[in-house]
């Protein structure tokens, strides 16, 4: 998977999608700093996710951003997404690959080198670790540190995605420690100081 250092943002959807969201998404993606957009909707029906997903996929394609579906390879296939993100409680990589084919598949490894080693055997597109900082986007039981990134870089060349509470104050530390992508949600969608596009523009 090619890495464009300028496009270091792995953007995750807000929990709720309103009409204003689509306009904001177009503006955010026009900054040319986003490599991936992940559709992560826990409280919507499959049918509703398809309707929302189709609109978002079109915007992502126009802006040359990879469209990823969280948790559900069947939804990823239905939407013909660019890939799927799997948590530890979701389907394993090989089964997901049988459903969506040779597409992007990323895996959450929390803060565990052992989980990373297991995932690496199936050759995922990226490994996601976190939470690096406190976050309100989701409940987190696992705390990751910069040490784990250094260990991983000695172990594999597979790209690393950092998750959890990433914002204007702490993002540079992760990039300086060679994290490839930063998974960001609340800083962009729930920022009380900046509009979504402005929030992204401040991440240099």
1, part of any domain = no
**Domain containing residue 153: CATH number:** 3.20.20.70
Q: What is the reported pLDDT for 141?
A: 67
pLDDT at 169 exceeding the cut of 70: yes
Q: Which two tokens stand for residue 171?
A: 């993002």
In a domain, 157, yes or no: yes
CA distances from 31 to 27, 67, 113, 189, 204 (A): 7, 16, 34, 15, 11
pLDDT at 136 over 70: no
With a cut of 80, say whether residue 3 has pLDDT above it. Answer: no
Q: Convert the pLDDT of each residue in 20-53 to its tens digit.
A: 999 999 999 999 999 999 999 999 999 999 999 9
DSSP structural state of residue 37: E
Rounded Cα gap, residues 72 and 131, in angstroms: 21
Q: How far apart are CA 182 and CA 193, in angstroms?
A: 20
Quick check: is 2 in a domain? no
The dihedrals phi and psi of 199, each to the nearest 5 degrees, come to: -60, -45
Confidence of residue 140 (pLDDT cuts 50, 70, 90): low
For range 107-124, the mean pLDDT: 95
Find the domain containing 29 and state its range.
9-201
pLDDT digits (tens, 9 = 90+) for 46-101: 999 999 999 999 999 999 999 999 999 999 999 999 999 999 988 999 999 999 99
Kindly give the pairing relationship between strand 83-86 and strand 66-70. parallel
Q: Is the pLDDT confidence value at 137 over 70?
A: no
pLDDT of 139 higher than 70: no
Q: Is residue 3 part of a domain?
A: no
- Least Cα distance to 29 among 71, 54, 55, 66 occurs for 66
43 domain-assigned: yes
Number of domains making up the chain: 1
């Amino acid at each position: 998977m090619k890495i464009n250092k300028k496009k270091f943002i792995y953007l995750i959807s807000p929990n709720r999608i309103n009409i204003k969201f689509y306009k904001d998404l177009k503006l955010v993606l026009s900054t040319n700093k986003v490599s991936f957009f992940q559709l992560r909707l826990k409280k919507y029906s499959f049918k509703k996710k398809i309707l929302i997903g189709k609109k978002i996929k079109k915007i992502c394609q126009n802006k040359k951003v990879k469209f990823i579906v969280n948790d559900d390879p069947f939804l990823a296939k239905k939407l013909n997404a660019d890939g799927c993100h799997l948590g530890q409680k979701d389907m394993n990589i090989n089964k997901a690959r049988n459903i969506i084919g040779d597409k992007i598949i990323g895996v959450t490894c929390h803060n565990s080198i052992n989980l990373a080693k297991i995932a690496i055997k199936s050759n995922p597109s990226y490994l996601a670790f976190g939470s690096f900082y406190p976050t309100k986007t989701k409940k987190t039981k696992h705390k990751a540190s910069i040490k784990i990134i250094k260990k991983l870089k000695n172990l594999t060349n597979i790209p690393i995605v950092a998750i959890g509470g990433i914002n204007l104050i702490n993002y540079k530390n992760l990039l300086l420690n060679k994290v490839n992508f930063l998974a960001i949600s609340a800083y962009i969608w729930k920022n009380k100081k900046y509009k979504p596009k402005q929030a992204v523009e401040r991440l240099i």
